[in-house]
Amino acid sequence: MKERPIAFLDSGVGGLTYLSEARKIIPGESFVYVADNENFPYGGKNFEQLKEVVISVIDKIFDQFNPKTVVIACNTASVITLKSLRKRFGIPFVGVVPAVKPAAQYTKNGRIGLLATESTVKSIYTDDLIQDFARDCRVFRFAGVQIVDFIENRFYEAEENEILEILRPAVEYFRRENVDSLILGCTHFLFVRDALQKLMGSGTKVIDSVDGVVKQLAKIIQENYPRVEKSEDQYSRFYITGTSYSRDTYEKFMDDFDMEWGGAI
């Protein structure tokens, strides 16, 4: 491997949308995507345990790929571990955290929804984001645990009805609370973004953090690695960490996101 890649990490497939947008704005780079399926799901894990899990997979990523930077393409891992990672490893990390600031700038009625994992919903980092950027708003939080599992394991097989059923409890809650902006605080939820927007209706704007994250990534790469020339060895590879899932499980995701299979790390 000649070219140093940009690495993306999530517990599963959630971060693929972020990688795909990053490829569009920094097309000369190589990418490795690690789905830490051995430790899926991250949400709901004890915070100390999650820190250990993430540090150990980042260690592996460093050993194998020597990346230019790592995007923690997971809100749960970012809100719980980013501070420790930045202290421990000597390269810039890009985190993905709930887009509280854009939601607070957008809302007209001051009622914001946050759909995330249980850990993200409960984290102090999330409390701080709300305190810093949405102090004057009411933020209604909902842990969409089943949605994460559904996207990881059933997304391509499911009929439309099943998708609607999975989203229903969250949609009912947010509609009841009359939120006019809804933050997707888990990268897996990008897969059901359009369905959620449709169910919530035009009175609610569904907000994600993709733009902000890829712009931040592009800035870090530009500042730290000004490009000399486009490498001919570019690649974009998908890796897993465990043995319980196989290549077949991810084939459709790799096709949709135009990635090669990398294997297990």
Q: Which residues bind ligand DGL (CB under 6 A)?
A: 10-11, 14, 40-43, 74-76, 117, 120, 148, 186-188
Contact 235, 40 (CB under 8 A): no
Of these residues, 70, 96, 112, 186, which one is catalytic? 186
Cβ 207 to ligand DGL shortest distance, Å = 14
Whether 186 is catalytic is yes
Cβ 226 to ligand DGL shortest distance, Å = 31
Residue 161 backbone dihedrals phi, psi, to 5 degrees: -55, -40
Residue of closest CB approach to ligand DGL: 43
Pick 3 or 194: Cβ nearer ligand DGL: 194
Cβ 187 to ligand DGL shortest distance, Å = 4
Q: What is the rounded CA–CA span in Å between residue 38 and residue 26?
A: 30
Pick 30 or 78: Cβ nearer ligand DGL: 78
Pick 74 or 112: Cβ nearer ligand DGL: 74
Pick 30 or 120: Cβ nearer ligand DGL: 120
Pick 187 or 236: Cβ nearer ligand DGL: 187
- How far are the Cα atoms of 77, 85, 114, 145 from residue 118, in angstroms, in the given order? 12, 21, 11, 7
Cβ 164 to ligand DGL shortest distance, Å = 21
Whether 137 is catalytic is no
List the 205-207 sheet strands across, edge first. Answer: 138-143, 111-116, 181-185, 205-207
Contact 137, 110 (CB under 8 A): yes
Of these residues, 22, 34, 74, 210, which one is catalytic? 74
Q: What is the DSSP letter of 207?
A: E
Q: How many CB atoms lie within 10 A of CB 265?
A: 17
Cβ 223 to ligand DGL shortest distance, Å = 26
CA nearest 210: which of 79, 19, 67, 32? 19
Residues that are catalytic: 74, 186
